[in-house]
Structure 1
C-alpha cells in the first residue's frame, strides 16, 4: 500500500476533524477497531507525546512542512501510531518498527488536510501513540486476602460438617 510515508504505513484512521488531544479517548477506541486486523483485538493505545510539546516530546524536532521527516528520540519498536495534524484535521497512521526499531519516518500531509485548491496543508504537529497488548488488570493484594479468607471459611465449614 503506497501511503506517502517511508517506510509505508500499514493502515490509516481518519481524517478526523479538530485536534487529537481533546478527542483522545474516542481516538484510542476507534484505533482499537481500525487497527485490530494488524495488532489484534483488545490492543491498548496510549498517547506518548507531541512534537509541539516542550522539548518536542518523543521527537527531536517539530517539522512544519507538507512533507518532511519525523525523527524519534529513541528507536521505536513493535507497533506504534503517529497522528499528523494539519489544517483543521488529523489522521492516524499505523507503523511496525519491528525488533530493531525505527528512528524516523518520512511523512506527507496530503492524506490529512488539503486547502480549497487541493494543496496539502503544513504539519502543525505529530503525536506518537504506543500500541501494546491488552493488559488484564492485576488484582490488588486486598483482593487476594479476601479470596483466601473466603476459602478458609469454606474449608472450616466443610470440616465441621464432616464431623
Structure 2
C-alpha cells in the first residue's frame, strides 16, 4: 500500500546502518517470515548499502523479460544469478510495473503484483533477504514462505509447506505509487543452475472493493537451481579407464629410447 511504501522510504535516512543476514526458511511450524516497515526491525532487510558485488557475489547470468497481463506488456522482470566465494548460488529478482490499469473491453482493472512464486527449490537449503535498488518506489518484501498458498480476501489462507516453491508476498502497484520491488534474493547451497519455462508465477489477489478479477496470474521463464548430474557407473568406469590410458601414454613418452 502507498502508506507502507511512504513510511518505509521516510526511514531510509534514519536507519542507514540497519542490516541483517539472510533468513532460513522454516520447513515446520509457522512457515511464513514476516517483514516490517521499520528497517531496523525487518528481519528480511539486508541493508541500505548492501549489494552483491560488495559481499562476495559475482554475477554469472541475467535475463530481462516483459511482464504480460491479458496480452498487455505492463512492465519488466529482472532475473539475475550470482555465485558466492564458496561456489554456491544466489538468485536475485526485481519487478518494475509501467502500466497501472488494463482495459479488456468488458471491464478495466488496476494492475498489481501481490505474490511472486519461484519454483525449482526442492531439496536445497534456502534463505532469503532483500535490498533496496536505490529507487524511491521500491516495495519491500512483506513476507516469505515455502508455500504455494493462494492469497484471498479479506483473509489469507494458512500456509502449507511446499519444498519446491518460495512465495514472496508484496504489494506492487503503479496506482499506489510503489511500482517496483526491491531486489528479492534467494541464497541457496546449489552450485549449478538452469532456465525453466515455468520458474516464476506472479499473482494479483482480488481487491476488497471487487474492482479486479477474482485472481489474476502470469507464469513465465526464469532461473532455478539444478543438481549437477552424477556419472552412471559405466560412464564413471570408462572415465577412469580413459584416465589410466592417458597416464600410461604419459609414462611411455617419458621413457628413454
* TM surpasses 0.5: no
Structure with more strand by fraction: 2
Structure with more helix by fraction: 1
TM-score by length of 1: 0.36
Q: Which has the higher contact order (CA 8 A, sep 6+)?
A: 1
TM-score by length of 2: 0.26
